Amino acid sequence: MSWNLKIGEIKEQYLNEQQIWQMFNTFFSPKSKNTMTYKFGLIKSLIENLYNVNENLEVNYYQLFESFTKIYWNLVVHHQLKQSNSSSMNSAVEKVLMNFQKEHRIPNDFKFDKLPHDLQLKLVQQVKKEGNKYVIGALYGDSKGVIYEFDLKKEYMRMNEAVYKFMLKHQKVLTYLTNYHLALFLEKYNKAENTVHMLMKVENVSKRSSLDGFYNILISFGEKTCFYCGKTLDGRTVAHVDHFIPWSFVQTDHLWNLVLACRSCNLSKRDRIAKQVFLNSLIDRNEQLAESNEEVIIKEFKFYRPEKLQDLYHYSIVNGFEHQWSPN
Ligand SMILES: [Zn+2]
């Protein structure tokens, strides 16, 4: 049993792509025993945090479990989906979430990002405690110790470089695989659902219900025109918060990947990627934003490097996103 491991070293540093595919195949294979959905949740959280690593490829647990909590809150509370294969028992994380919901009398239709910030903080700490106990060691064991190494006395895990690069490169297909297998599991243990319906729920559990917070930040830093066509934006109704690299690829909201766009640019761009010249403008925009000493900017830019945005641009193209969009 590996779920109660307290420390785990990376077993094999140097793996080639084929070996990593094999590991993920075994991991997703129906033969691999799952009593809960934890490992899918953790892989989703890792994917969300691929661009939140520091130069040593360390991911901090708070950040990781913030994604994890959001995903589980939306699955368990918002969608009322059971996460374990036992009809009589709930997983530790489910118990934490349900008790928290009860204690604070939060209605079922609340998505995670609608909770007040202090409650989010408190809940993430509680989930993190259970996650340290039941999740980190389990995924480590399931992946035969190749994805990351950890020591529960520290506040972060460190990713294996070969696996990290692999995950960047194959991010889209790994996201699909994880969502698909998570949906299959949930379908099996939750009545009256079908895979297509379930998959749609799962695909959206990471999504925020509103990007208004980011809109306010960008406006307060003087963004008054459409990032793409330069048209003046007056008011929230005409300004859209646009994921420069589409959300369907990044699966998360980094301020450094968000711009304000007019309605027509946002709607015409859709799931596509703008031409290289806009990447350069965004790098300049980010450089200016990052100069601010405001707390929110410091937090949002903590792990930002222009090279990360360039990588993300590159990897989205490798993953099949069309990248020649420009405004009419
Ligand atoms: Zn525009």
DSSP string, 163-185: HHHHHHHTHHHHHHHHHHHHHHH
Q: Per the structure, how many domains does the chain have?
A: 2
Q: Rounded to whole angstroms, how far apart are CA atoms 295 and 299?
A: 6
Domain containing residue 105:
7-204
Grade residue 45 by pLDDT with cuts at 50, 70 and 90. Answer: very high
Mean pLDDT of all residues in the chain?
90
| Across 200-209, 226-235, 286-295, least confident range | 200-209
Q: Does the CA dihedral 123-43-157-60 come out positive or negative?
A: negative
Query: Which tens digit of pLDDT belongs to each residue from 151-180?
Result: 888 889 999 999 999 999 999 999 999 999
* 156, 72: one domain: yes
Residue 325: inside a domain: no
Final residue belonging to a domain, choices 204, 235, 269: 204
Residue 127: inside a domain: yes
Q: How far is the CA of 224 from the centre of ligand 1 (A)?
A: 11
Cβ–Cβ under 8 Å, residues 50 and 164:
yes
* 228, 290: one domain: yes
Residue closest to 166 by CA, chosen among 319, 7, 273, 38: 319
Grade residue 1 by pLDDT with cuts at 50, 70 and 90. Answer: very low
Q: How far is the CA of 265 from the centre of ligand 1 (A)?
A: 4
Q: How far is the CA of 288 from the centre of ligand 1 (A)?
A: 21
* 28, 156: one domain: yes
Q: Which residue has the higher pLDDT, 31 or 19?
A: 19
Q: How far is the CA of 312 from the centre of ligand 1 (A)?
A: 23
Q: How far is the CA of 226 from the centre of ligand 1 (A)?
A: 5
Final residue belonging to a domain, choices 169, 204, 239: 204
* pLDDT (mean) for 23-49: 87
Q: How far is the CA of 289 from the centre of ligand 1 (A)?
A: 20
Sheet holding 156-159, edge to edge: 7-8, 148-151, 156-159, 58-60
Residue 1: inside a domain: no
